[in-house]
Amino acid sequence: MKIRYFITGFALISLLFFIQCKHGSSGKITKIKAKIVNPQTDKVIISRDFLMLHADTLKLIGENELNGSVHTPEEGLFILFVFPEYQTVYLKPDDSLAFHLNVNEFDESISFSGSLGYENNLLMDLFLANEKESLYFYKHKFDFPPEVFTHKIDSFHTLKENMIDDVYRTFDKPSKKFRKIAQLSANSNDYILKETYARKNKKLTLPQNYFNYTQILKQKLADPNVIYMYTFADSYLRRKIVPQQNRQKLNLEIAHIIEKDIADQAFKNNILTRYCQRYIHKNHISQIDTVVKTYFKYLTNKDYQNFCRQIIQSNKRMRTGISFPSTRLLNTNKQTVNTKSLFKDKKILLSFWDLKQHRNFKTNLKKLKKLKKLYPHVIFLVVNINQDNFDQWTMAVPKDDEIQYYRLKNRDNWSDIRPFHLSQVYLIDKGQIKQSRLNMYRPDFEKKMHDFAMEK
């Protein structure tokens, strides 16, 4: 069970297209060396934030190796993006880190060396211990009496504490900040499991002090990038909010709870941005409304605010009723086709796939073929977002005449066009967007598709 922050799979590559990675300001650096096995891109990104707004891009050289440096204004956790995976790494100014990983076996294969090797190997061991702990409780469906559950949580926690102590006995260099990061990394998964247990066992009477662990949200955190703290915040909010039909009231309530209950401002900024981004994407927000204004009022990081504004502007440019922007595609014969001529006088369902996400594509293709049988006069287009591996893509294209397959020729207007996830489609009539970024698995999609197909 991989518990991750909100950028996963296709959302990550969407961000890679959407955001231009910026190098940090000049100053302190950390030297980086690495060997990447089975890379899926020719670069690695190391960022001070999950949005990749303050990031360094390192190009693979030679036999898929890295040899460069990243800007590290202060010690702490940075995010290592090796598409389609990511992990946090601990860096310090004027220090060095080397690592080796196999992209196909990411978390299990990554190992660190260099002057920061001890710290990072400990964090990975804790990460894998957290994964093992989660698998155990989900395997048993959290079906324990409260006292048994507490005992088992404590047992897993003791194993992690022993892991930390063993490293510190042989390695006495960790800084005070790193020790706090390691401790929070060990604790935070326990918080998630306690929230999950409470949610799955609502009828049980929990001990009076059961939720004392939530006091961590009232404190300054060791680092805002501890991965498990994001999932914990999600679980906490899920328990605290009152489900409502009105999406604006629900999102306003979320913003108010985050502001009131989370003390660490850097962590709060990350959580606020996550929920603001989700609200904008899910509801196709094309102008700053009351909800976004509220998030911005609590969100002190101006770069994060601007990130959300860019998404709103993209939605505005691609909203229903707008002409689909001219975009160049390649067909399987390597011929360039422009969407302006391709969409002319036709009804189009435009879908997307990612060559790297084969299982996702197969699932979506079943859905598309079912729809195609119902609406044979609508042209179904599937665009592969990858620009590399043309031969690999053509080999993966299904041999059928029901659906037309293209791939992006270059980025063109991709930052506007991209869906947030691969289940989103466009319905286009004579080049005009009739429905923008519809989720084809939502209950109301079938009716919208029918109305679009039958409309004269």
State residue 24's pLDDT score: 46
Residue finishing a domain among 53, 81, 113? 113
**pLDDT at residue number 15:** 53
Using 50, 70 and 90 to split pLDDT, how confident is the model at 27?
A: low
Question: Is 174 domain-assigned?
Answer: no
The yes-or-no verdict on residue 372 having pLDDT over 90 is yes
270 by Cβ neighbours in 10 Å (0-12 / 13-18 / 19+) ranks as: buried
Residue pair 139/34 in contact by the 8 Å Cβ criterion: no
With a cut of 90, say whether residue 456 has pLDDT above it: no
- Tens-place pLDDT, residues 51-86: 888 999 999 999 999 999 999 999 999 999 998 789
Task: From 84, 113, 142, give the residue that closes a domain.
Answer: 113
**Partner residues linked to 29 by β-bridges:** 71
Give a yes or no: residue 204 inside a domain: no
Domain that holds residue 6: 1-113
Mean pLDDT, the chain, whole residue set = 90
Is 375 a member of any domain? yes
Structural domain contains residue 391? yes
Q: Which of 113, 148, 168 is the last residue of a domain?
A: 113
First to last CA, the chain: 48
pLDDT band at 243 (very low <50, low <70, confident <90, very high): confident
Question: What pLDDT score does 318 carry?
Answer: 87
CATH number at residue 65: 2.60.40
Residue 228 has pLDDT above 50, yes or no: yes
Find the mean pLDDT for residues 26-44.
Answer: 88
* Band (10; pLDDT cuts 50, 70, 90): very low
In a domain, 166, yes or no: no
Residue 369 pLDDT class (50, 70, 90 cuts): very high
Best-predicted range by mean pLDDT (34-43, 98-107, 180-189): 180-189
Taking a C-beta distance cutoff of 8 angstroms, is the pair 445, 363 a contact?
no
Q: What is the pLDDT of residue 70?
A: 96
The answer, yes or no, to whether residue 388 has pLDDT greater than 80, is: no
Q: Is residue 127 part of a domain?
A: no
> How many independent structural domains does the chain possess?
2
Given a cut of 80, whether residue 25 has pLDDT beyond it is no
Q: What DSSP string describes 291-330?
A: HHHHHHHH---HHHHHHHHHHHHHHHHTSTTSBPPP-EEE
Closest CA to 72 of 45, 46, 43, 52: 46
pTM of the model: 0.84
Q: What is the pLDDT of residues 314-355, one digit of tens each?
A: 888 888 899 999 999 999 999 999 999 999 999 999 999 988
Q: Report yes or no on 414 lying in a domain.
A: yes
For residue 211, which of 223, 199, 222 has the smallest C-alpha distance? 199
Distance CA 261, CA 270 (A): 14
Residue 384 lies in a domain: yes
